[in-house]
Amino acid sequence: MPVFLVVLIFALTLSVIFIRPKGLNEAWATVVGGSLMLALRLVTPMEALQTVLQGASVLLFLLGLLILSELLRVSGFFEWAAVHAARAAGGDGRALYRNVFLLGALTTACLSLDTTAVILTPIVLSFVGRLKLNTLPFLMACGFVANTGSLLLPISNLTNLLFVSAFHWSFPRFVLIMAMPQAVALLVNYKLFRLLFRRDLPERFAGGDFPGPSELVPDQPYFRGAVCVLAFVLVGYFVGSLVGVQPYIVTLAGCAALLLWGSWRKRVTVGILRDISWPIFPFVIGLFIVVKGVENTGVGQLVRGAVQTSGHSALAQTITAAIGAGIGSNIVNNIPMALLAISSLKAGTSQYAQYGALLGCNLGPNLTVAGSLATMLVITSARKYGENVGARDLFAVGLRVTPVVTLAAAIGLYLSLLIFK
């Protein structure tokens, strides 16, 4: 009976997240699901408290990243970058597509996949619409690169933060290990997209009546301060890891400095905090508790057994973990899949399986709309611009791209782990 109740609550929670009846925020689903786990004693209050405390640094970092992204948006940074990408293409349609893909990859790596989904995607769709180009290839570029480009830094994806926190991986080593699979994933994804959308990308496009990049910056001193703070934060992640300073401290310090500078320049007020996506915090906390209930059923032993039966080959373990986590992410979403993978792989598994599962949680969600919140946010943004893209369209593209990208990146990850033992 307890196992049946856990599975039922888990399934209902995920169903409400995906369906969102009457536009209900996803946070309600996980908060109610977590409350049911506690009320039915499927998770004890002490287990819930320990689970939340273990993820406290992740939540604080997420808070800092959301504030930093909003402060950069106010500075005009994203519009400035997008117009530079368009102008640098010089009227070449394929160069424009490459630049958008690279801009999405950089935004995802440095400011997380949700920033690409929520802030960059609407900007890209807007200027592509002004150029009267087919928006579908650019929409798919934003949607896929939000996941494909999230391997490089621990900050690029919430799943990365969860794995780094659970397995105590250092920031520099994580980057060292993931650089090769990240490069492979982006290159293969881009090449496949160029092949798939070869008829949709014009050789030339009219330059468009774009404002100069400087015209998109409302206050030059604040803009320069924002860029300096972003550079400080990115460097601070590496330096901080060497002296034992947590990434969330670096991020919050950067936010504090930019808030003060923005207030002095009269570009930022306390009202900016209203634009933060606050529901994500109860969403994640509730999800922690729901997944803890699933852990208590012993599912971790089954996962460990599946990895171990894949053989003693490190390559086989890497690929098995990546494919398994990727498939699971498309079924239950990549955040709960990451939590389940972490609890299952903490003991008795190799780093090949651990890093492989992380890779699968990042690259796998490009098959279904439910795979990651970033994918759902990109699709939502597209509909606001009249681009009616549904689950079938995403699956049709994902089926031809995601398995190849995941397999190629998994092989790259295996080689990287061999080199940097």
pLDDT tens digits for range 14-59: 788 777 787 777 788 889 999 999 999 999 999 999 988 888 888 8
Instruction: Specify the residue for token string 């795979």.
Output: 371
CA distance 142 to 110: 15
CA distance 11 to 2: 14
CA distance 92 to 281: 42
Q: Are 356 and 318 in contact (CB under 8 A)?
A: yes
b (16+ CB within 10 A) / e for 71-108: bbbbbbbbbbbbbebbbebebbbebbbbbbbbbbbbbb
Q: Which string of DSSP letters, residue by residue, matches 77-98? A: HHHHHHHHHHHHTTTBHHHHHH
The pTM of the full predicted model, rounded to 2 decimals, is: 0.85
Half-sphere exposure of residue 359: CA atoms within 13 angstroms, side-chain side: 38
Joined together, the tokens standing for residue 140 give: 């798919």
List the chain pLDDT tens, one digit each, 421 residues: 688 888 889 888 878 877 778 777 778 888 999 999 999 999 999 999 998 888 888 889 888 888 998 899 899 998 898 888 888 888 888 999 999 999 999 999 998 888 888 888 888 888 888 788 888 899 999 999 999 999 999 989 989 988 998 898 988 999 999 999 999 999 999 999 999 999 998 888 876 666 776 778 889 999 999 999 999 999 998 888 888 888 889 999 999 999 999 999 999 887 777 878 788 889 889 988 988 888 788 766 666 565 555 556 899 999 999 999 999 888 878 888 888 888 888 766 789 999 999 999 999 998 887 788 788 778 777 776 677 777 788 889 999 999 999 999 999 999 999 999 7
CA distance 126 to 136: 12
Joined together, the tokens standing for residue 173 give: 């080593």
Q: Are 223 and 76 in contact (CB under 8 A)?
A: yes
> Which of 149, 147, 139, 146 minimizes the C-alpha distance to 196?
139
